Amino acid sequence: MIDVGCGSGETSFELGALVGDKGSVFGVDSAVALIELARLDAERTNSRNVRFEVVDAQTHPFHPTFDVCFARFGTMSFRSPVAAMRNLKSAVRRGGRLVALVWRTLADNDWVRLPKEVALRHFPTPPDDDRNSGPGPFSMADRDTVRQILEKAGWSNVAFERVDAPVLVGATTSEAVEFQLELGPAGEIVREAGAAAEEKKAIITEELTKLLEKYAKPGGIVMNSSSWCITARN
């Protein structure tokens, strides 16, 4: 199995535990620092059936050696999605499977939609279409678009299953606020505001704190998320 966009290997290790001694997992990511962390963890835990390489999955010359191509939120930033998905197909044996998790629309994901609305109160921006706006977290939210991408890339039997699940956005409210200001749509809006953001950072932080406090659970700040589990065949 190949794990595309594996990051520091969290999912790769889980997959390795699932396939056991009869299988193996090849984690690939273009981030050198994350792959180094994954390799250290593999060595520390003596994970013999998991290995990692720094690879650009969009262009790497793969061989059809894998039964499954898996990606957890690792396919939404491809610059040329048809070419990239065709290249991933080249890594999979005939009859093999694609299993990919991608975010559904921004409107379906409260954990980023609601903080974005807070930021928009202070820095309005033109509306955009998160389904077809190029590489980004919601670029594979539209089923028709993704089906066309995969079929043009040579995949068949494309199917979508909706997955709604809680997501932890911070162990504490302050951690969740920091996360929202560093990553995601709200943080992007604030960063693009430049110097003006400094003047309003305190009030935005206060409003985000009030919003996120409503989602406090014993384990931290937990909000709703929604994604597609996409499957296909080579």
At residue 124, the pLDDT reads: 80
Computed on alpha carbons and rounded to an integer, the radius of gyration of the chain in Å comes to: 19
Is 43 in contact with 50 (CB distance < 8 Å)? no
What is the rounded distance in angstroms from the CA atom of residue 165 to the CA atom of residue 188?
24
Q: How far apart are CA 56 and CA 45, in angstroms?
A: 26
> 72-115, pLDDT tens digit by residue?
999 999 999 999 999 999 999 999 999 999 999 999 999 999 99
Q: Identify the residue with better confidence: 185 or 228.
A: 228
Average pLDDT over residues 210-218: 96
Tell which residue, 148, 111, 106, has the closest CA to residue 131. 106
Question: Which domains are seen in the chain, by residue range?
Answer: 56-233 (3.40.50.150)
pTM, 2 dp: 0.89
Say if residue 183's pLDDT is above 90. no
- From residue 96, give the alpha-carbon distance in Å to each of 45, 68, 88, 216: 29, 6, 11, 42
Q: What is the pLDDT of residues 108-163, one digit of tens each?
A: 999 999 999 999 999 887 555 455 556 889 999 999 999 999 999 999 999 999 99
Statement: residue 208 has pLDDT above 70: yes
Question: Average pLDDT of 53-82?
Answer: 96
Mean pLDDT of the region 27-37:
97
CA dist 223 and 110 (Å) reads 7
